[in-house]
Structure 1
Amino acid sequence: MLLKTFGWSFAITAAGLALAGVLWGWQGLAIVGILSILEISLSFDNAVINAGILRKMNAFWQKIFLTVGILIAVFGMRLVFPVVIVAITAKLGPIEAVNLAINDKTRYEHLVTSAHPAIAAFGGIFLLMIFLDFIFEERDYKWLSWIEKPMAKMGKLDMLSVIIALVVLLVTSMTVATAAAHGAGDKSATVLLAGVAGLLTYLVVAGISGYFEDKLEEDDDEEDGQPAAPARNGTGAAVGLAGKAAFFMFLYLEVIDASFSFDGVIGAFAITNDIFMMALGLGIGAMYIRSLTVFLVRKGTLDDYVYLEHGAHYAIGALAVILLITIKYEINEVITGLVGIVLIGLSFASSVVRNRREGKPGDSSGKSSEVTSGV
């Protein structure tokens, strides 16, 4: 299964590094390799979150995620997105922006960096909403029960996550945004606008995907006359959402991936300002995250290690806060990556302890009772 799942990633890595060596020599090869590792370290929690969503979709849409999704991730977010940001912020035409990225890399880097407050506000609020909706939801399994139990009770208040996100955005615009990094000056209005856009994007995409998912489950229940448990195929992945429900879930996945990629794209400028090196290196890393997502789904890892999703969502919450802080203060990408890895590692270790305590490698059966970690 390992070769089947990661085969394309291995092949693209070999081809990408060979291309980098031919085009830019040993230095270019090293830069592309470093960028790939940077992307993987920053986005490991993204793979866990994606797997939690992807396992609800059928095999066809899982393949779409690996094919069309990777094209969007590599060419859309790692190559086109920075150019679009420059075109918008500098009020340039698309051809002028591309020409600037190729022929005036220093100014191009400056313009992308100047757009960081807006990017960070959009991505930070979007990711914060993902974390808040997770932590306020009543769940069968609780990792840090001393936090999650009271949060689940508070979550019964309607729109609480939206209220908190708006308060965080308002505080951010009145504090760190008043003196943004890199001499950008007061970006309060920009941060407010971008943050609201991130919030609206989350509400629209997550709302529509949730609506179609619920409707599909209702239709299945009406046809069967009883609640239907998701079927499983031979790989252990759930045979789930299709049609409109899967399409909007796919869009939700892509927006999540975009939000995760913001810090990677900005951080890559500390290594190179060549957009093609950047796209190649980050693209290789993104391919591994895609493959890892599918691997987690096919192995049923999230069913066996039930606290992994908790760790990933805590990492998302941390990343959201870090993104908002970086509007004013620079935080090394190594710290960002380590926070996610540590949280996921701890949640994995807690899952292993739980499984040993219960005398089984995992629990993929129906969950009729609440289970806590005792933490």
Structure 2
Amino acid sequence: MTSLRYLKWPLIVTFAGLALGAWLGWATTGTVEGMLTVFVICIVLSVLEISLSFDNAIVNANKLKQMTPIWQKRFLTWGILIAVFGMRVIFPLAIVAIAARIGPIEAVKLAIAEPDQYAAIMHDAHLGIAAFGGTFLMMVALSFFFDEHKEIHWVRMVESRVSRFAAIRGVEIAFVLTLALFFAAFLDGDARATFISAALYGLLTYLVVDVMGNLLDRAEETMSDAARGGLGAFLYLEVLDASFSFDGVIGAFALTQNLFVIAIGLGIGAMYVRSMTIMLVERGTLTEYKFLEHGAFYAILILSVIMYAQAIVHVPELLTGLGGATIIGVAFWSSVRHARAAAPVAE
């Protein structure tokens, strides 16, 4: 019964969202078949979002437990509005508005009246989005592994060696730039320039957010109790959420070109991710399962490389989601085995 309380709002949003999706299907097609199609697409999109963002929930929980209660509450209220409406509605509209050089109102009209053209513009912008998001996520993952103070290792043979290089200043940046240039070498002309430019902006965004977070942390004593220990982490988590959302938003257009159906489906999934984050924090699951966090960062690293690879070849979103879920599952299993081995034997 205790676990069900975490599902209260996700279930409410699920029922409301699916009902709205079914109505939207009926309103746009006027047929039962159309209504059921949109209904099923909303379900598939929500599952896609959950599978792609489970590692996001783990990383969020790790950062969230370090925040003050008031900033935790702000992230789980304001943050959900930004995640659902900002990234699932405003972000696609902004991409189309910038790419097509039209205003936001015209972008909304385009999404309603000409969804195929709207989807085509989104797909054309995928290269830059993949490079930006892939770079940011790769830096997030590498900052976890390139840590000279890191004491807990899951894949010890790899992680213990990697952590030794953390003392070398800028090693993560050098690694990311090398990989970005490697993938860019497979592209030509404008595509190569777009990829490299977006990757640099992704790197710059990570560094700016990281610097801001450090500055805010150092200024904790001069802040009010309400802001202390939370603003820097809040900004970091919002940018991280945005980076995780790129893949899901772009992948959703493979199922439907309707912006509002995408917003409903991904919004439902986002609510479950938020609930998983709250559960992980309140139950101390990351402490109980020692390697779960490691699995999440491995999944993030692989996702970032996949986003780079998508500049060259198409990688099915199902494969991306299942890959991350599998790694986290193995990390969970390893954590359980470790806990059992470390438990004292009853006499």
Query: Do both share a fold (TM > 0.5)?
Result: yes
Residue 29 of structure 2: aligned partner? none
Q: 1:338 aligns with which of 313, 316, 322?
A: 322
Residue 52 of structure 1: aligned partner? 62
Q: Partners of 2:287 and 2:216 in 1: how far apart?
A: 24
Verify: 1:270 aligned to 2:254, yes or no.
yes
Q: 1:152 aligns with which of 153, 163, 169?
A: 163
Q: Is the 8 A contact 2:61 2:281 kept in 1?
A: yes
Residue 66 of structure 1: aligned partner? 76
Q: Is the 8 A contact 2:88 2:263 kept in 1?
A: yes
Q: Partners of 1:65 and 1:196 in 2: how far apart?
A: 28
Q: Which deviates more from structure 2 when the two are superposed, residues 131-140 or residues 319-328?
A: 131-140
Please give the secondary structure, in 1, of the residue aligned with 2:254: coil
Q: Partners of 2:177 and 2:228 in 1: how far apart?
A: 30
Q: 2:332 aligns with which of 323, 348, 362?
A: 348
Verify: 1:111 aligned to 2:121, yes or no.
yes
Q: Which deviates more from structure 2 when the two are superposed, residues 82-91 or residues 2-11?
A: 2-11
Q: Is the 8 A contact 2:217 2:232 kept in 1?
A: no
Residue 281 of structure 2: aligned partner? 297
Residue 308 of structure 2: aligned partner? 324
Please give the secondary structure, in 1, of the residue aligned with 2:257: coil
Q: 1:140 aligns with which of 151, 157, 166?
A: 151
Q: 1:129 aligns with which of 139, 153, 161?
A: 139
Q: Partners of 2:174 and 2:291 in 1: how far apart?
A: 27
Please give the secondary structure, in 1, of the residue aligned with 2:311: coil
Residue 7 of structure 2: aligned partner? 6
Please give the secondary structure, in 2, of the residue aligned with 1:141: coil
TM-score by length of 1: 0.85
Q: CA deviation at 1:340?
A: 0.6
Unaligned ranges ≥5, structure 2: 26-34
Please give the secondary structure, in 2, of the residue aligned with 1:142: coil
Q: CA deviation at 1:309?
A: 0.8
Residue 213 of structure 1: aligned partner? 217
Residue 195 of structure 1: aligned partner? 199
Q: Partners of 2:94 and 2:228 in 1: how far apart?
A: 29
Q: Is the 8 A contact 1:312 1:344 kept in 2?
A: yes
Q: Partners of 2:127 and 2:105 in 1: how far apart?
A: 25
- Change in Cα spacing, 1:213 to 1:305, as seen in structure 2 (3 Å) is farther
Q: Partners of 1:242 and 1:346 in 2: how far apart?
A: 39
Q: Is the 8 A contact 1:209 1:245 kept in 2?
A: no
Letter in 1 for 2:167: K
Letter in 2 for 1:11: I
Residue 268 of structure 2: aligned partner? 284
- Change in Cα spacing, 1:358 to 1:215, as seen in structure 2 (3 Å) is farther
Letter in 1 for 2:13: I
1:215-230 paired onto structure 2 within 5 Å? 216=220
Q: Partners of 1:111 and 1:261 in 2: how far apart?
A: 18
Q: Is the 8 A contact 2:71 2:227 kept in 1?
A: no
Q: CA deviation at 1:186?
A: 4.0
1:254-269 paired onto structure 2 within 5 Å? 254-269=238-253
Q: Which deviates more from structure 2 when the two are superposed, residues 302-311 or residues 4-13?
A: 4-13
Q: Partners of 1:124 and 1:211 in 2: how far apart?
A: 25
Q: Is the 8 A contact 1:66 1:291 kept in 2?
A: no
How many percent identity over aligned positions? 47
Residue 95 of structure 1: aligned partner? 105
Q: CA deviation at 1:242?
A: 5.2
Residue 182 of structure 1: aligned partner? none
Q: Is the 8 A contact 2:131 2:195 kept in 1?
A: yes
What is the CA deviation profile of residues 75-111 of structure 1, one whole-angstrom value per residue up to 9, with x for unaligned ones? Answer: 1101110110111112112122111111111111000
Q: Partners of 1:79 and 1:85 in 2: how far apart?
A: 10
Q: CA deviation at 1:274?
A: 0.3
Q: CA deviation at 1:308?
A: 0.7
Q: Partners of 2:211 and 2:294 in 1: how far apart?
A: 21
Q: Which deviates more from structure 2 when the two are superposed, residues 20-29 or residues 261-270?
A: 20-29
Q: 1:307 aligns with which of 283, 287, 291?
A: 291
Verify: 1:18 aligned to 2:28, yes or no.
no
Letter in 1 for 2:85: F
Q: Which deviates more from structure 2 when the two are superposed, residues 62-71 or residues 75-84?
A: 62-71
Q: Partners of 2:215 and 2:10 in 1: how far apart?
A: 34
Count of aligned residue pairs for this structure pair: 331
Unaligned ranges ≥5, structure 1: 179-184, 221-240, 361-375
Letter in 1 for 2:331: S
Q: Is the 8 A contact 1:57 1:242 kept in 2?
A: no
What is the CA deviation profile of residues 134-183 of structure 1, one whole-angstrom value per residue up to 9, with x for unaligned ones? Answer: 111131211000001110101110111111111112222222x33xxxxx
Residue 179 of structure 2: aligned partner? 168
Q: CA deviation at 1:55?
A: 0.7
Greater percentage in helix: 2
Letter in 2 for 1:209: G
Q: Partners of 1:270 and 1:169 in 2: how far apart?
A: 26
Q: Is the 8 A contact 2:216 2:231 kept in 1?
A: no
Q: CA deviation at 1:213?
A: 3.0
Letter in 1 for 2:21: A
